[in-house]
Chain A
Amino acid sequence: MAVADFIISLLTFIAIYSLFGIGLNLKFGFTGLIDFGHVAYFMIGAYVTVVLTMPAGAAGYSGIGGFALPELFGVLGPLGSLFGWVLGVLGGMIAAALVSLAVGVPTLRLREDYLAITALGIATILTTVVNDEEWLFNGPFGINTVYTPLRDVFPLSLGGFTLNMAVFGILSLAVFGLTGYWLVRVFQHRGRRGRLVLGVLVPLVAVWYFVLPTLSGGMVELTRNTLWLFDPTAGPNGGMDYDRFVLLLSVAALGGGYWITERTINSPYGRVLRAIREDEDVPRALGKETFQYKLQALMLGSALAGAAGALWAINIGFIAPDQFAATITFYAFTAVIVGGTANNKGVILGTAFFWGIRNGTRFIDVPSQYSIQLAAARLMLIGVVLILILYYRPEGLLGEQDYDIPLPSRDASGGTDDV
């Protein structure tokens, strides 16, 4: 397996969990709601989407459905089944939002620590229900007949081998170009410490990605890593395989989720959310129904988690209740806090950091009987980093983000809400 394939699966993970984390950030970072049950909406989104899109009477499945939306709309034309899948995702998001509405109405009035514990409890109950009620979603056996949209189009081939290689290769190089351009811009705007970190990290990653595989695998490996969108072994003429499509889809969904939250929090509506986080009494004194705002933030965040769940399902191709343990919520909290609470870019950075450590250390060669030890050591490291960051840099690596219009603060010059 080329390094490129590993990077693609890692980036897909990061994109999906970043979307999940952005939903959490909307609740926790911008509105101040500690939802320890966030993973429940991830699970609901995954299950509802899968059940809405998979065919009825699938083998080995004894739960509700499926409702085969893509087949239903498939008669409309080639894009009909894609539309059916999108409808299924929307259904998953709406289901997640509705469940969070039902959870939020009673619990949002509680003290913040009681809210956290109650939300954790409800999420645990929901996971137990999905695990134990086989008539619902097949119980512990999970669902392995996940509908994957546009599956038959891939591997995508445009014509001959050379044409494929040229088109996808140019697109791959364009992505590298854009990344380089973005890195240079970030480099220019950072302080000395930021430049130092980038100046060390970027060459290291570049050596690891380009130089080391070339030394071991020759030009073939270098080509595969450089032209990463192009998989020469996919199909008769090479082309873009499904994993790469899922990556692009996840990144696009992440972009959409990012855009929606950015627009939300920068709007006057989002300012109310941020004011609720700082001191709920103030917006209330100004006549805002803060309870409704909190409820809506909870629903929007949960809907984003639901979308992430739908992507998770097509990425893994199999869903089961044990994938949605409460620890996933804690991992997302870690990612949000490490990257920067109330900073959507920080969420992506934190998620990349977390899953980079969690999955990236698999290149360290340890005898297989120590694999539990290695996994445990990684999580211990993450716990230590979490505590250190909270102590030395409580605002996270990137700090709180800038807003179009910040909340009024003492010096009124900053772009953040840091009061």
Chain B
Amino acid sequence: MLSLPELGVYFSLLLFLVGLFGVMCRKGILLMMLSIEIMLNAANLAFVSASVLTNTMDGQVIMFFVMAVAACEAGVGLALVVSIYRARATVETDDLRMLRG
């Protein structure tokens, strides 16, 4: 039987894969950003599990920092989404070909 923090590392791996899968298969920017949030949560879970495994608190402090950076990322990213939707009337990444991507 695995211990609790080891199980947490496994679940963080699975959650990260699900988030990566979401970024790969979705075309809408909003769903892609939600998948990015899943990946950030998976990284946080790995940090906290490692912190419990090693009997140190560093992982939980860094988890708080990651959370703050995720809040910044969501704010700026959603502002970009609003601005793009105003200019192009779409948020599908297939239709946003201004840079010939």
A and B bound? no
A: residues with CB less than 8 A from B are none
B: residues with CB less than 8 A from A are none
